[in-house]
Amino acid sequence: GQSLEQPSEVTAVEGAIVQINCTYQTSGFYGLSWYQQHDGGAPTFLSYNALDGLEETGRFSSFLSRSDSYGYLLLQELQMKDSASYFCAVPSRPARQLTFGSGTQLTVLP
Amino acid sequence: EAGVAQSPRYKIIEKRQSVAFWCNPISGHATLYWYQQILGQGPKLLIQFQNNGVVDDSQLPKDRFSAERLKGVDSTLKIQPAKLEDSAVYLCASSLFQLTGELFFGEGSRLTVL
């Protein structure tokens, strides 16, 4: 089966940098995805890492270490609108269906 | 490009009643998913369709939940009879390429069972 662990809550101030970690256990690893979900909203895709290293997309970056079964999402220059839940997810066999972590609630303070 | 459409957005029912949710995926997306998201938790996959065939329904409580995807386009998820623990948001998602881990989610249907 698959399991993912991420912190339940993270708090930071506007303009700061925050890192949300995710460790996973899965049979047959394909990659690690990150999603953002605002209260009452739909989850939206942020990034996907299939290979080791850092992927940067604007203020958001995502990192993967397959040997450590670990990844993180890095948010820079935090804004109030970044307050949301962030989920890591892994595709699973047989059809690469996504299994989600329990989510990290990020609160950005003024 | 239109997103994933779901209805109704909200539904309140009594336990043992039935309810149905509808989803229309993004045009051209062959894969459709139904997820259940309980408050404070991550989405949990209920069923995955590839065109109109079921790929994975291992976590679907088949004694009360059913889903279909006729003609490989829109889909319905039904719960009958509902239990209190079915209170959740039911999210529909679709994807074009499964290799990228990118799903497109609808806004969800929030179910409250009293």
- A22-39 pLDDT, tens per residue? 999 988 888 999 999 999
Could you tell me which residues are beta bridge partners of residue B105?
B93
d(CA A35, CA A33): 7
Query: Residue B12: what pLDDT?
Result: 98
Interior CA angle at A7 toward B112 and B105, to 5°? Answer: 45
Backbone angles phi, psi at A96, to 5 degrees: 60, 30
The β-bridge partners of B48 are B33, B56
**pLDDT tens-place string over residues B35-64:** 999 999 999 999 999 988 999 999 999 999
Per the listing, tokens 């799903």 go with: B103
Chain A positions contacting chain B at CB under 8 Å are 30-33, 41-45, 48, 87, 89, 91, 94-103
Contact B105 A94 (CB under 8 A): no
- The pLDDT value recorded for residue A64 is 97
Q: Would the pLDDT of A13 be above 90?
A: yes
Q: Rg for chain A (alpha carbons), in Å?
A: 13
CA distance A27 to chain B (A): 16
Chain A residues touching B102 at Cβ < 8 A: 33, 45, 48
B4 chain-A contacts, CB cut-off 8 A: 42
pLDDT of residue B3 exceeding 90, the answer is yes
Nearest to B48 among A42, A97, A103 (CB): A97
A41-59 tens-digit pLDDT: 999 999 999 999 999 989 9
- To the nearest whole Å, the CA of B80 is away from the closest chain A CA by 25
Residues of chain B above pLDDT 90, percent: 84
pLDDT at B70: 82
Question: Which of A24, A29, A45 to substitute to test the interface with B, most B CBs within 10 Å?
Answer: A45
Task: Count CB atoms within 10 A of the CB of residue A33.
Answer: 25
